[in-house]
């Protein structure tokens, strides 16, 4: 069992600083940090540690230091629920090893906000990256960036270079002084369901022998073209859209090297939604693995909304129907994906004008002083007007015993009023663990009545998780040994019993481990493998990954 060390200045028995706890921490220790601002820099070398907020807001402030606020060299480091600020050095610098950051807010004054140099493995999830010259600079490493926002950098939002491989999924890159994503020197970025807007140059620039895959990504309001592929650059553009960009929106120097499918349609505004739009979105929902009861619940909501819309057009009275929902279930069960589709369905039905998706967490709603929270929550709500406001882990706003809990309560009270006053202008979806969401509903007497329905997301079954992995294999142009399915099912039957099992998230992690096992096996061949070998996951690769 890992040991927990508490950092709380002035508290007997606790460490006075984060750096002091790091020096004393044994392998795999969790350093739990009490709320407050810590004016220090942290250096972690060849260690396996977790730094996490104990409760309330934890800030590592190194804005006056000439070195990174947090630097990790080798080892395995995890960061959770931290605010990290730097001056002219990176907020976080990874020099080899593994780093996982979840629900963190990173900012810097100059240089990259997060710098990862390899060989290294980086995972960033539900984070906010602000300021700095560049948001994330990734070189000679592998990176998974999910549900993360990069905003207000003076140059490039994300740089992928020196052979780095990076997957950006469900990310937003806004207001970048140059490009949203810039890949060069054999960089290999993949963008899936991302949104890039407000860049002073191209939204995405691929240069210097790099390879990029863009799927279901929106690029809008850019001073330059949406996407540019330079000479000797390869890639794939699938079902992407662009709005209000320079012409031509897609520039490809060597078209034979870049596959473009489902060319983006011209955006048409103020067009009456069609039944085909709704059916297409429902097919997208049906294509998700499992979730039978969830699909039925969403379909019943859409049926009622559709009939209401028909009655309205016929001049008949319609009942009042709230669009606000509760999504209850464990992580990785598809809550975010279903919420996105639900927003698009509301827009297709004409119930909401835009259907855009805004995902936030506690730190996006809670302020730092009395009165700040109501202002901050109102601003977030207003930005979601016309679409969906998705509050992940909403129960964190009412976590009993948390410091600054009165601020969380203020956010809830403000939301309750806004949801009632603007019930037809936005859809609020709160999500989290089932038991925690029940307690969350008790935080305000009027909260539960604002939501029309609670939809329960059950854990995926082992065969469904196996199918999810198989779909990932196909999507990434790999082939899986036919004998691997029973091994995957047995693996998921065991690991799914763990209390912190991540469902589809764990399925993706397993896929990444299979890919890593294949890479290690192919490197030992001593030469360039054939295309068939590059595509194939052997049974031994799967066995290595599950063990």
What are the extents of the domains in the chain?
A: 155-267, 275-457, 462-546
pLDDT at residue number 262? 62
Residue keyed to tokens 């070189």: 139
| pLDDT in the model for residue 513 | 87
Cα–Cα distance measured from residue 179 to residue 212, given in angstroms and rounded to the nearest whole number: 15
Angle of helix 292-313 relative to helix 275-286, nearest 10 degrees, comes to 170
Model pLDDT, residue 345: 86
Backbone angles phi, psi at 238, to 5 degrees: -125, 120
Is 188's pLDDT higher than 50? yes
**Token couple for 299:** 């379909």
Q: 71-80, 222-231, 356-365: which has the minimum mean pLDDT?
A: 356-365
pLDDT at 401 over 80: no
**Alpha carbon distance 120, 463 (integer Å):** 32
User: Strand, helix or coil at 368?
Assistant: coil
Residues 113 and 261: their CA atoms lie apart, in Å, by: 34
Taking only the tens place, the pLDDT of each residue in 343-356 is 888 888 878 877 77
Residue 74 CB-density burial (10 A; 0-12 exposed, 13-18 middle, 19+ buried): middle
- Cα–Cα dist 455/326, whole Å: 6
**Consecutive H or E run containing 32:** strand 29-33
**Could you give the CA distance from residue 90 to residue 366 in angstroms, rounded to a whole number?**
25
* 256 pLDDT higher than 60: yes
Mean local confidence (pLDDT), 255-269:
65
Q: What is the DSSP string of 90-103?
A: -SEEEEEEEEEEES
CB 457 within 8 A of CB 433: no
pLDDT for 370 equals 66
Is 161's pLDDT higher than 50?
yes
Task: Calculate mean pLDDT across residues 94-122.
Answer: 94
Topology of 275-457 in CATH? Rossmann fold (3.40.50)
Which CATH topology does 462-546 take? Helicase, Ruva Protein; domain 3 (1.10.8)
pLDDT: which is higher, 534 or 43: 43
Q: CB atoms < 10 A from the CB of 149, how many?
A: 20
What tokens does 182 get? 């810039």
Reported confidence tier of residue 267, pLDDT bands at 50, 70, 90? very low
**How far apart are the two ends of the chain, measured CA to CA in Å?**
20
Residue 77 has pLDDT above 80, yes or no: yes
pLDDT digits (tens, 9 = 90+) for 291-303: 888 888 888 888 8
DSSP conformational letter for 306: H
**Mean pLDDT along residues 375-387:** 84
Query: Cα–Cα distance between 412 and 389 in angstroms, integer?
Result: 14
Question: Angle at the Cα of 158 (from 153 to 162), degrees rounded to 5?
Answer: 135
Determine the pLDDT at residue 143. Answer: 96
**pTM of the entire structure?**
0.55
For the segment 86-96, the average pLDDT, to the nearest whole number, is 95
Is the pLDDT assigned to residue 269 strictly greater than 90? no
The residue among 491, 539, 533 whose CA lies nearest residue 514 is 539
């Amino acid at each position: 069992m890992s040991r927990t060390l508490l950092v709380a200045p002035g508290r007997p028995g606790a460490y006075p600083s984060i750096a002091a706890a790091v020096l004393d921490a044994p392998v795999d220790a969790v350093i739990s940090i009490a709320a407050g601002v810590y004016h220090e820099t942290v250096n972690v070398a060849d260690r396996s540690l977790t730094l996490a907020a104990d409760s309330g807001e934890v800030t590592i402030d190194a804005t006056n230091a000439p070195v990174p606020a947090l630097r990790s060299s080798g080892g395995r480091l995890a960061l959770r629920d931290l605010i990290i600020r730097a001056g002219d050095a990176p907020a976080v610098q990874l020099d080899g090893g593994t780093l996982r950051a979840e629900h963190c807010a990173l900012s810097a004054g100059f240089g990259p906000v997060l710098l990862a140099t390899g060989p290294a493995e980086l995972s960033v999830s539900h984070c906010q990256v602000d300021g700095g010259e560049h948001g994330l600079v990734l070189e000679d490493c592998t990176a998974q960036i999910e549900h993360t926002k990069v905003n207000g950098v003076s140059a490039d939002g994300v740089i992928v270079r020196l052979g780095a491989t990076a997957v950006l999924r469900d990310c937003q890159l806004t207001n970048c002084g140059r490009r949203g994503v810039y890949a060069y020197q054999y960089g290999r970025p993949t963008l899936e369901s991302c949104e890039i807007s407000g860049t002073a140059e191209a939204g995405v620039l691929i240069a210097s022998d790099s390879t990029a895959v863009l799927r279901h990504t929106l690029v809008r309001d850019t001073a330059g073209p949406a996407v540019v592929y330079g000479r000797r650059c390869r890639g794939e553009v699938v079902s992407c859209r662009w709005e209000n960009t320079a012409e031509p929106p897609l520039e490809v120097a060597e078209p034979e090297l870049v596959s473009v499918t489902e060319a983006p349609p011209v955006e048409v505004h103020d067009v009456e939604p069609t039944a085909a739009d709704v059916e297409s979105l429902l097919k997208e929902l049906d294509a998700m693995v499992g979730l039978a009861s969830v699909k039925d619940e969403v379909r019943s909501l859409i049926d009622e909304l559709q009939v209401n819309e028909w009655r309205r057009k016929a001049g008949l009275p319609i009942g009042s129907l709230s669009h606000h929902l509760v999504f209850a279930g464990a992580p990785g069960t598809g809550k975010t994906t279903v919420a996105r589709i639900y927003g698009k369905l509301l827009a297709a039905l004409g119930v909401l004008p835009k259907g855009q998706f805004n995902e936030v967490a506690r730190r996006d709603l809670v302020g730092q002083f009395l009165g700040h929270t109501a202002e901050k929550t109102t601003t977030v709500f207003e930005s979601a007007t016309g679409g969906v406001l998705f509050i992940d882990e909403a129960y964190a706003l009412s976590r009993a015993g948390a410091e600054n809990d009165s601020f969380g309560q203020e956010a809830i009270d403000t939301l309750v009023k806004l949801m009632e006053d603007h019930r037809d202008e936005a859809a609020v979806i709160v999500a989290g663990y089932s038991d925690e969401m029940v307690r969350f509903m008790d935080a305000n007497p009027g909260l539960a009545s604002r939501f029309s329905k609670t939809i329960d997301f059950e854990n995926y079954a082992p065969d469904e998780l196996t199918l999810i992995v198989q779909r990932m294999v196909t999507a990434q142009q790999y082939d899986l040994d036919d004998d691997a399915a029973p091994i995957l099912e047995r693996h998921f039957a065991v690991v799914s019993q763990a209390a912190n099992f991540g469902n589809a998230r764990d399925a993706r992690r397993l896929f990444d481990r299979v890919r890593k096992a294949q890479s290690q096996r192919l490197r030992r061949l001593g030469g360039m493998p054939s295309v068939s070998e590059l595509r194939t996951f052997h049974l031994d690769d799967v066995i290595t990954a599950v063990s």
